[in-house]
A = this chain, B = another copy of it.
Amino acid sequence: MVPGTAREDGTLAEQLSARIAAGEFRPGRRLSEAELAERFSVSRNTLREAFRVLAEQGLLEHVPHRGVSVTAPRVADVLDIYRVRRHLEAGVLARADPRHPATVQVRAAVEAAEAAAAAGDWVGVGTANTAFHAALVSLADSPRLTRTYRQLGAELRLAFLVIGDPQTLHGAFVGRNRSVLETFVTAGGPAAARELEDYLTESERTVLGAYARLGLG
C-alpha cells in the first residue's frame, strides 16, 4: 500500500465519478491529464485508464488529441434520456408485482426524499429521487437493465448540474414519487406506469424549460 492514497477508497474511476456527481467538476469543464494526475496523486497513465472507463459510461467526453471534458448534455441528449427513461421505467413498472422485495427500497427512497425536502436539503432530494427511479427499475430483477439505468441516471444528473437550482428541479416531484408508489401498491403496475409516464413528461418539460431559459435551446 502506497502511503498518501489511503484517504479515500474505491477505484479511481469511482472517485472521479463521485466528484463529478458532487459538482466539483462542472459539465463542460475540460480535465487536464497533468493537472488531475497531480491532484489525485496518480500517474497520467493510471488516470487515462479511469478516463476511458468514465468516457464509456458517458460521464466524460473524449475527443482524440483534444482531451476529455465532463459531458454537458445538450437538448437532444435530454430528449433521448427521457425517451429511454419512459421506455424503461414504464415498461418495467407495468409488468412488476407490488409484492416484489424491491418495493421496500422504492418506499425507502420515497421517504428519504420526503425527509430531505422537509429539511430543505434539495440536493438530497435529487439524490433520493434518483434512487427512487433506480429502485423502480430494479423491480425487473435484471442486472443489465439496472446497470443501464444507473448510467442513464448519471447522465441526467449532469443535465441537472448544467441547470443548477435543485429546488425547482426536484421539489415538485417528491409528492409524485409517493403518489406513484401508492398507485402501484393499491392499483397495480399498469396504472402506476401510466401515472409515471405523465410524471416523466412533466419532469422533462421542467428540464427543457430550464435549458431554454439558459439559452441552450
Contact = CB atoms under 8 A, between A and B. Distances in A.
Interface of A: 45, 48-49, 52-53, 56-57, 80-81, 83-84, 87-88, 91-92, 140, 142-145, 148, 152
Contacts of A145: 83-84, 87
Q: How many copies does the complex hold?
A: 2
Nearest to A83: B142
A80 to B, nearest CB: 5
B80 A143 contact: yes
Contacts of A57: 56
A38 to B, nearest CB: 19
A144 B140 CA distance: 19
A83 B45 CA distance: 38
Contacts of A52: 49, 52-53, 56
A48 B51 CA distance: 12
A140 B52 CA distance: 28
